[in-house]
Amino acid sequence: MSDPNTHGSSTAPEAPDRSADTPRSADTPRSADNQSSQAEQTQQAGFFTRHPLLTFILRRILLTFVTLLGVIVVVFFLIQLVPGDPVRIALGTRYTDEAYQALQQASGLDKPLIAQFFSYIGSALIGDLGVSFRNGEPVMMLLLERLPATISLALCAIFVALLIAIPLGTIAGLREGGVIDSIVRVISQFGVSIPDFWMGMMLISVFALGFGWPSSGYTPLTEDPIGWATHMVLPAITAGVVSAAILTRFIRTAVIDVSHATFVRTATSKGLKHWTVLTKHIGRNALIPVLTISGIQLATLLGGVIVVEVVFAYPGLGRLIYDAVAARDYPLLQGAILLIAFIFLTINLLVDVLYAIIDPRIRIS
Amino acid sequence: MSDIPADQASAPEAAGARRDPAPEAPVLEVSDLTVGVGRNDIVHGVDFAVATGQTLGIVGESGSGKSLSVLSATGLFEAPGGYVHGSSTLDGEQIVGAPAGLLRSIHGRRIGFVFQDPSTSLNPLMTLEAQLAEGPIKHLGISAPEARERSLQLLTELGLPDPELRLGYYPHQLSGGQKQRVMIAVALACEPDVLIADEPTTALDVTTQAAIIDLVAGLQRSRDMAVVWISHDLGVIGQIADDIVVMRAGEIVERGSVADIFERPQHEYTKTLLAARPLLRTQQKAGSADAHADREETGEPLLRIEDLTVDFEVSSPTGKRTITAVKDVSLDVYRGRTLGIVGESGSGKSTIANVLTGVVEPASGEARMSGDPVLRLSGADLKTMRRRIAMVFQDPFAALDPRMTVQRSIAEPLMAHNLLPRRQRRQRCAELLDQVGLDASFIERYPHELSGGQRQRVCIARALAVDPELLILDESTASLDVSIQAQVLDLLAELQDEHGFGYIFIGHDLAVVEQVSDTVAVMKDGEVVEYGTAEQILRDPQTDYTRQLIDAVPPAEPVRA
C-alpha cells in the first residue's frame, strides 16, 4: 500500500458525488421522476425513511456518544503520560508513607491500569468524576458550581458578538469592495488582534474606575438580577468583542458567497423587495455556514475564557481549570476536560440538528 | 456599428412585415446601449427590438456581451463600478436609469427571466410553492391560497408530473429538466409581456433541451409574449427565433430574419457559427460526409470491455441502498478509432470512464488493454495503466490548478511517472503545446489568463504528456461554445490520425458524438441499448430512445418549434 494511488477502491462509494460536480450529471438515474419506485422504497424501508429528520438526529446522538467515549479514553491515557506521581505531588509536604498508602487506595491508583481505566469509564458515565486532590471535594460538584457563571457569561458574550457581527458582516458583504466594507474589515482586523486582557483592562479603567461599574465577581441571576447584569456587562463585552471580530469575517464571506448565487439573481428578477431578497433568500442561505462558526465560538466561550475570567476575577470554569493546572489537581483537570468536550459535542449536536431543520437537503434525502 | 450595412440594420422591420401584414410596435426596444465596468466599455452601443408574439434570438460566444446587453436593457445588471448608457424602453417606458422602485414593479410582473443553470437558479431552502408564489403575491396582491391555485395551474400547463405533490418539494428533489420547467413557471407566474431566456437549455441534456424549446414556443403562442432567447448555439436559435442578432466582442455584427441568417449569411463570423453547429452526418450536405466510412475495424481491439457491472452503495441519512450504475456492458475500442458513448445524465457513461481509470471498482466484469488486465489493479500495475489510459475532463476551468503555470500542469504527469529529466521537461512541454496548436509563449501562463478553448487544449496536452494509448474524453467539449468545440474536435481528429490513439468519446449530444466516432454505444439507465457503427445507428436506429436522441438534434434547416 505504499503507492498513494491505491486508495482508489476506498473512494468508490463516493463516486456518485463526484459525478454530481458536473452540471450535466446532477441527477442520479433514479431521480424523483419515478413515482412507483419511490413508493416501493417507502414501504420497504419503513420507519427510517418515513422519519428522516428523527433518524438523522438519532444517528447524530449515537455518533456524539461514541465520540464522547473516545474523548474519555484519550483524556485518561493522556493524564497517565504526565510525569511524576500524582499522589506524591498531591501530598506535597504532608508526605508520609501511611498518608501515601491511604490516598493511593482512596483514589484507586494502586489497582492495575486497565482496572483503573474501566472503573473510570464506569463512574464517568454515571457522573462520578472522582475527588479533587486539593480539597477532597467531588469533582462533579466543583464543576457544577462554576457552570452557571460560565453559561451566563458565554451566552451574554455570544449575544454581544452576534449583535455586533450580524449587521456589520451583512452590510460589509452586501457592499463588497466599498468604503463601508473597508472600514468593517479594518475594525474586525483590530478586534481579532486586540489581546482580550488589554481590552478588559481598558474597559475596567474607563467604566469601573470612571463610572463605578462592578469590575469583578459574579452574582447569580436567581438572587439578584440587577447585580447579575451589572457584573456581566464588562466581561461579556470583553469576551464578545473578540468573537464578534471573528464572526463578522465569516458572516461577510457567507453573505458575499450567497449574494453571488444565481438564485439571488432569480429572486431579484421577480421584482421582490430588497428586504425580502435579503432575509428570505440571502439570509437563510448564509445562515448555514455562520451557524457552524457560531457554534464553535459558543463552545469555546463555554469552555471558559481563562484570561477574561482572571482579569475580572470571575468565578467560571476557566479560572477553575487555571487553578487546577497550577495545583496539579489531576482529577479536577481530567473532569474539566471531559466537561468541556461534552459541551463541545452537545453544541455540535445542536448545530447539526439546526442544520437539518434549516436545510431540506439534509432533512429530505 | 460602422461595419453593419444600412440595409441590414433595418432587416428586423422588414422580416416582421413579411410575416405579419400589420406589424406591432416593438414591446422592448433597445437603442445605442453601451455597458461597461470601470473605464472599459464591454458592450459598444447595440440596438435591437422585439415585438409581441415574436422571438428575438441573440447569438454569440461567451464574452461577446450578449447576456450583459440583455440584462442591462432590462435593468438587472448590477456591478460595482458598472454603468449603462443609451436607451431601452418597455412599452415606451425608459428602463435605463430608472429608479429601483420602478424596476421592481417591472421585474417579474412585465418581464420574466429564465437563467442558464437550473440547478443553481432556484433557492435550495424554499419549497417550490413558496418560490412560485412570491412574485404573484407581491405583484398581483393575491392571497397565498390563490397563488397556490395559480402555481398549480402553471405547473400542470408546463407538464410537470403530479404538480400537487411537487409544490411541496424542494429543488434538490427534481431533475435538471424539471427544475428548468419550474424556473420557467417562476418567470411566467405573473403573465409577463416579455420573457428573457438566458441560455436556458445550455446546461440540459439534448432531449430535455428539445422539450424545453417546444414548451417555450407553445407558451409563447398561447400567451402572445415577446421572447428574447440568448444562446451560443445557432442551431438552437434557429428552432425558436423569428429574428436573429449575431454578437461578437460587444457589437452586433449581423442581424436579420432566421431565413436570412441561415441562407444568406453575410458576415464571416456568422458563417463560422453556422459551420460550427453540430450536425448529424445525415443532415450534412452530400460530399462533406464522411471520412470515417471506409474505416473498417481490423485485428485485435486495443481495449476490450466485457460484461462490466458497477454498483454504488449510496448512503443517505436514512441508510444505505445499492444502485447499479452500469449493467453488463461490453464494448471494444480499436487503435486509431473512436468509440462514442452517448446518453443522458445518470446513464452510467462517466462511470465507465471512472472504472477504466481505476477510480471506481467494478462489481463484476473484465477489461483488457492489448491483453493486459485494466481493472482491480493496485500499486505499480495501476500506475502503469494510468500512463496508458489518459483522461480529459468536461470542465477545463475546474481541471487545471489555478496556481500552477501551464508548464507545471503539463509536466506534473511526467514527474509523477518519472519520465523525463527536469532539463528536458520544458522542451517536451513546448512540443506538446505545439501539438495542440498553442505556441510556446503559453508555457509560463496561468489558467486564468487562458480562454476556455485554450484551457481545454492545455488539458489535452497534459493527457498526451505520458504517451497514452487510449484517451478518454469525458464530455470534453460540452462546456465549450460551439465554435470552440468545432476547433477542439478538429484538433482531436488530427491528433488521432497522427498518433493512432484509441478514443472513448463520452457525450450527451448525439450530433457531436456521432461526428467524431466510428462506433457508437447508446446508453440508458446503465445499459447499452444500442451498439454499432455510427452509420448503422444513424440510418437505422433500433430503439425509440436512439430515435429521440436523433430527433433532438437541431435541424440543419431552421424549423420554428
Amino acid at A44: Q
Average pLDDT of the residues in A87-110: 77
- Restricting to B residues 66-95, those with a Cβ less than 8 Å away from any Cβ of A are 76, 80
Q: Which residues of A touch B176 (CB under 8 A)?
A: 23-24, 26-27
Sheet holding B338-342, edge to edge: B389-392, B470-474, B502-507, B338-342, B519-524, B527-533
| pLDDT tens per residue, range B126-141 | 999 999 999 999 999 9
List own/partner pairs for A259-264 with CB under 8 A and 24 or more apart. Answer: A259/A173, A259/A174, A261/A285, A261/B120, A262/B115, A262/B116, A262/B117, A262/B120, A262/B121, A263/B120, A263/B121, A263/B122, A263/B123, A263/B124
- Report the distance separating Cα A107 and Cα A128, nearest Å: 12
Name residue, grid cell 480499436: B334
Residues 6+ apart with CB under 8 A from B296: none
Closest residue, chain A, to B383 (C-alpha): A5
At residue B17, the pLDDT reads 38
**H or E stretch at A140:** helix A139-174
Closest CA to A171 of A161, A159, A158, A183: A183
Flag residues of chain B having pLDDT under 70: 1-24, 284-298, 315-320
CB–CB contacts below 8 A, A to B: 203
| pLDDT tens per residue, range B248-291 | 999 999 999 999 999 999 999 999 999 888 888 777 654 444 44
Please give, one letter per residue, the 3-state secondary structure of B20-51: CCCCCCEEEEEEEEEEEECCEEEEEEEEEEEE
- Restricting to A residues 136-175, those with a Cβ less than 8 Å away from any Cβ of B are none
SS3 content of chain B, % helix, strand, coil (to 5): 40, 25, 35
Chain mean position to CA B235: 12
Q: Which residues of B touch A11 (CB under 8 A)?
A: 359-360
Interface touch B359/A28, C-beta < 8 Å: no
Closest CA to A356 of A281, A263, A291: A291
Decide if A261 touches B, using CB distance below 8 A: yes
Decide if A364 touches B, using CB distance below 8 A: yes
Decide if B105 touches A, using CB distance below 8 A: yes
Q: How many angstroms separate the CA of residue B122 from the nearest CA in chain A?
A: 5
- In chain A the first and final C-alpha atoms are separated, in Å, by 35
| pLDDT tens per residue, range A346-359 | 998 999 888 888 88
- Restricting to B residues 316-335, those with a Cβ less than 8 Å away from any Cβ of A are 316-319, 321, 323, 325
At residue A50, the pLDDT reads 66
Of B76, B170, B350, the CB nearest to A25: B350
Sign of CA dihedral B118, B119, B120, B122: positive
Residues 6+ apart with CB under 8 A from B190: B108, B109, B110, B112, B135, B136, B139, B140
Cell numbers at A132, concatenated: 479533587
Q: How many angstroms separate the CA of residue A230 from the nearest CA in chain B?
A: 41
- Which of A259, A270, A275, A276 is the best substitution to test chain B (most B C-beta atoms within 10 A)? A270
Decide if A42 touches B, using CB distance below 8 A: no
List own/partner pairs for A165-170 with CB under 8 A and 24 or more apart. Answer: A165/A243, A165/A244, A165/A245, A165/A247, A165/A248, A165/A251, A166/A247, A166/A251, A168/A244, A168/A248, A168/A251, A168/A252, A169/A247, A169/A248, A169/A249, A169/A250, A169/A251, A169/A252, A169/A254, A169/A255, A170/A251, A170/A252, A170/A255, A170/A278
Decide if B526 touches A, using CB distance below 8 A: yes
ipTM: 0.79
User: Torsion-angle region of residue B141: left (phi > 0), alpha (psi -120 to 50) or beta?
Assistant: left
Interface touch A272/B361, C-beta < 8 Å: no
Of B119, B350, B382, the CB nearest to A26: B119
Decide if A112 touches B, using CB distance below 8 A: no
At residue A6, the pLDDT reads 38
Alpha-carbon radius of gyration of chain A = 26
Closest residue, chain B, to A284 (C-alpha): B125
Interface touch A23/B360, C-beta < 8 Å: no
Q: Which residues pair with B111 in a beta bridge?
A: B107, B194
Decide if B380 touches A, using CB distance below 8 A: yes
At residue B161, the pLDDT reads 86
Of A31, A270, A359, the CB nearest to B108: A270
- Which of B114, B345, B506 is the best substitution to test chain A (most A C-beta atoms within 10 A)? B345
Q: Which residues of A touch B169 (CB under 8 A)?
A: 32
Q: How many angstroms separate the CA of residue A188 from the nearest CA in chain B?
A: 23
Interface touch A270/B135, C-beta < 8 Å: yes
Of B100, B323, B382, the CB nearest to A28: B323
For helices A113-125 and A52-81, the axis angle rounded to 10 degrees is 140
Of A8, A269, A364, the CB nearest to B113: A269
Write the DSSP string, A168-203.
HHHHHHHTTTSHHHHHHHHHHHHHHHS-HHHHHHHH
Of B125, B321, B361, the CB nearest to A358: B125
Decide if B395 touches A, using CB distance below 8 A: yes
Q: Which residues of B touch A259 (CB under 8 A)?
A: none
Decide if B125 touches A, using CB distance below 8 A: yes
- Which of A1, A5, A288, A362 is the best substitution to test chain B (most B C-beta atoms within 10 A)? A5
DSSP 8-state code for residue B554: P
DSSP 8-state code for residue B107: B
Mean pLDDT of chain A: 79
Decide if B387 touches A, using CB distance below 8 A: no
Cβ burial B526-553 (10 Å sphere, 16+ → b, else e): bebbbbbbbbebbeebeeebbebbbebb
Cell numbers at B190, concatenated: 405573473
- Restricting to B residues 468-507, those with a Cβ less than 8 Å away from any Cβ of A are 475, 478
Interface touch A266/B123, C-beta < 8 Å: yes
At residue B68, the pLDDT reads 92
Q: Which residues of B touch A50 (CB under 8 A)?
A: none
Q: Are B367 and B356 a contacting pair, CB within 8 Å?
A: yes
| pLDDT tens per residue, range A220-251 | 777 888 888 888 888 899 889 889 999 999 99
Cell numbers at B423, concatenated: 532539463
